[in-house]
Chains A and B, each alone.
Chain A
Amino acid sequence: MFDTFLPASAKYRKTLAVIGAAAAVPLVLTGCTDNTKPASATDGPIQVSSTANECKVSAATAPSGNLTFSVKNEGTEVTEFYLLAEDGLRIIGEVENIGPGISRNLVVTAPAGKYNTACKPGMQGDGIRASFEVTESGNKPSVDADLQKLVDTGTQQYAAYVKDQTEQLVTGTKAFADAFAAGDAAKARDLYAATRMHWERIEPVAESFGDLDPKLDAREADLEPGQEWTGWHRAEKDLFPPAGYTAMTAAERTAISTQLVADTEDLAKRTRTVELTADKLGNGAKELLDEVATGKVTGEEEIWSHTDLWDFQANVDGARIAFESLKPALEQKDAELATSLAGKFDALQAELKKHAKGDGFAYYNELTPEQVQQLAALVDSLGEPLSKLTSAVVL
């Protein structure tokens, strides 16, 4: 399941992943770890060796631009490496959780000025520090003082979007559940795909709750032997029954409906505490496109109702909102990527529109193989550059 949007403490890995990009630091100066080679090969990475007592940095100066520190932990404890501002307090970039014997790269964009380097073996105290100078290379990173403001505005916009979608999801789910429990299959079928769109638009957030996701969105093939099947797809099978299927009883429908509403309300409540940052938005957009590529394009998500195109559209909506929230910042950092992504979103949207029918879409099993291939091609052409969004904004 997706877990980019995990609330702190829910899952360790993702929590760690976002620290480097915490919004408290001016984004243009924020580091992120990356093992890629520096943009300018002539620079070469600056070697850092961290031991219990030493923090050897192979150079004390470097020309301004992209700096790569290759940090090797040659001690016996977990270590961290920081590039700090001249005041020794403000973090320009950091790389954490380096196990003994392991090397990890820190890539930062730094303008000319005085800095401090610090290794923190054992992750304790102030670390072993040294001064470091970045000289003027003429290769000035395009810095916009308002960039952080742009990012902050973007994340706030996206947070409002998540809130709005969860509210609509709760309202829609209640109406769907009422119809389903009452045995009004026609109405429930009508509401099914449109209501799910609110879920699909914020899927990376919704799926970040590892216990709720399977209860709400498990497909039959996802179940393990003996696992109780609840949620949307349980209702889907009953509403769009395959041959030989035994319909649910009224009591079973009521139980599924009650559970669906309760779990959705729980979800809505929990999303309020999710802390959003730029890298979560960027990764979330990428994950939504991944979802389309692996689940929707193949028609695996809605095997009974064939309403995959509703989900498809909703995933693209969600990715687009995340992208647009970051777009002002991205335009400062990589205007070409911003233009390219906008064009590719448009192309995919235009293709999706061809399959619109009334308020919704054609059923997925009505598409020809050629039409599916065309959609897949557009998803891939968007998905690949979209995966560069996070590092472009955060680095």
Chain B
Amino acid sequence: MSGCPFGHTSDPADADRSGEPSAVERSGEPTAVVTSQEAADGDSAAAASTGTSRFSRRGLLSLAGVGGAGAVAGLAAGFLGHDVVTAASASAATPDPGASVIPFFGQHQAGITTPAQDRLHMAAFDVTTEDRKELIRLLKDWTAAAEAMTTGVPTGKTGAIDGPYDAPPEDTGEALDLPAAKLTLTFGFGAGLFEKDGKVRFGLDGRRPDALIDLPHFPGDDLQPGRTGGDLVVQACADDPQVAVHAIRNLARIGFGKVRVRWSQLGFGRTSSTSRTQVTARNLFGFKDGTNNLKVEDNALLDEHVWVSSTARPSEQWMAGGSYLVARRIQMHIETWDRTSLREQEGLIGRTKGAGAPLSGGDEFTAPDFALAGREGAPLIPLDSHMRLAHPDQNDGVRMLRRGYNFTDGSDGLGHLDAGLFFIAFVKDPRTHYVPMQLALAKGDTLSVEYLKHTGSGLFAVPPGVEAGGFIGEGLFA
């Protein structure tokens, strides 16, 4: 593969990008968005840039060939905020949500505070090469391909159909004619990238962050090796499942010989909202999930709970502005759940099934009153309810940004659906923001004990975002 189809020749300190606010700050600026409608009215380069999302991938490729693709990509990145979705839906006359592009470049990686897209394809990879240069080259190639695909452009110089007739096409082609569909690609590094079998890899001695721990065994864990771990992870989220799968497939193809897929997971529907503009989605228990999730609008809380701040250890400085991704494949015993009375279901969750209100009263977003008692002085929100045990009030105030997806992976071979929640959370430090809560849930949460089984797991250090001309995780290799 030739890494970067568009050369990355433009100056990273391009005027379009200098002074650009961070992803989070951008959220309050809907005017920074160029909608399809506006693009259609204009005749400037801005129109060309939005064409990347509006017109077919092949058309864009031609355009890029003529006008200079670097400029197109740069413009796209400059004009569109991470939260283009939010603003576009508010201002577009003819909403076409699939047409939106979420810029790949930015202070933080996209796909974290980006309003959760509808579909997921996540894959973890084992790195098979031991050559540092090859690893860096892979990350550069992935960066280039990610930038292209997130703008709705095929990978490689010649895409899916414009190459030599006797050569296999560079891009696999199944996303031709499809818009960018808000595709985001978020990359993370597992502990195995730093060391394996007691041996330091890629010269990364002393660079493994302290927070990138080996997760402990949680009671009831039934982790399958083929669904657990991985040296690298890529989270592909999009509103079109084919776009997400196309992205993972092409990244895996680019990586052959250096990495191989360790596990891969599809999620068919989001269960979290990461913006107040989104309605709270439901999990496969039929309950709203993630009502109290951290949202893109919570700037201060994101700094406190999601983003890694500058650290004392210089060797960890490359993670500043990054986050930690916890992935847990949680199988739900949906068949036995469905045989449970509504009283029991609501008691196990701690919320009403319809509105999602806490059992202490109010509506979905009313703060729960854990002390409010009913008959015989018993709290209305049961002591062993999931909501109570997972609530920040019970967990030293720590919050997570959850970004999970519902999944069904065929059947379990015993006449049941293999279904559940693919839990994804982004946290500042899993030692404080995930492990204590999960230990409490695995022990005391009747829902977890009776109806959930964790069958896969991964913890990854997600480096900060990358600017044009850079590559994912470059700080680690500096």
* Interface residues, chain A, with chain B CB atoms under 8 Å away: 1-3, 11-13, 15-17, 19, 33-35, 73, 78, 80, 96-97, 99-103, 123, 221-225, 227, 283, 286, 290, 293-294, 297-298, 300, 369, 372-373, 376-377, 380, 383-384, 386-387, 390-391
Contacts and interface: CB of A to CB of B under 8 A. Distances in A.
A390 B340 CA distance: 10
Interface in B366-382: 366, 372-376, 378-380, 382
28 contacts: A12-B376, A12-B378, A12-B379, A13-B384, A15-B378, A16-B374, A16-B375, A16-B378, A17-B344, A35-B342, A35-B354, A96-B375, A99-B357, A99-B358, A99-B359, A99-B380, A102-B362, A224-B219, A283-B341, A290-B336, A293-B336, A294-B333, A376-B414, A376-B415, A380-B415, A380-B416, A384-B339, A390-B341
A225 B372 contact: no
Question: B-side binding surface: helix, strand, loop or mixed?
Answer: loop
A102 B352 contact: yes
Given A34-B342, A100-B361, A294-B336, A225 B378 contact: no
B360 interface: yes
A293 B362 contact: no
Contact of A224 (B374, B439, B446): B439
A223 B216 CA distance: 11
A224 B442 contact: yes
Contacts, number: 127
Contact of B363 (A16, A97, A101): A101
Contacts of A383: 335-336, 339
Nearest to A381: B415
A222 B343 CA distance: 27
Nearest to A100: B361
A321 to B, nearest CB: 19
Contacts of A73: 361
Contacts of A223: 217, 219
Contacts of B355: 102
Contact of A372 (B339, B353, B414): B414
Contacts of B335: 293, 380, 383
Contacts of B219: 221-224, 227
Nearest to B222: A221
Contacts of B220: 221-222
Interface in B49-79: none
B73 to A, nearest CB: 48
B383 A221 contact: no
Given A78-B372, A221-B222, A101 B336 contact: no
Given A222-B220, A224-B219, A297-B414, A101 B339 contact: no
A11 B415 CA distance: 34
B347 interface: yes
B90 interface: no
Contacts of A96: 374-375
Contact of A12 (B383, B413, B449): B383
Contacts of B415: 373, 376-377, 380
Contacts of B221: 221
A233 B379 CA distance: 35
Nearest to B348: A13
Contact of A19 (B352, B354, B375): B375
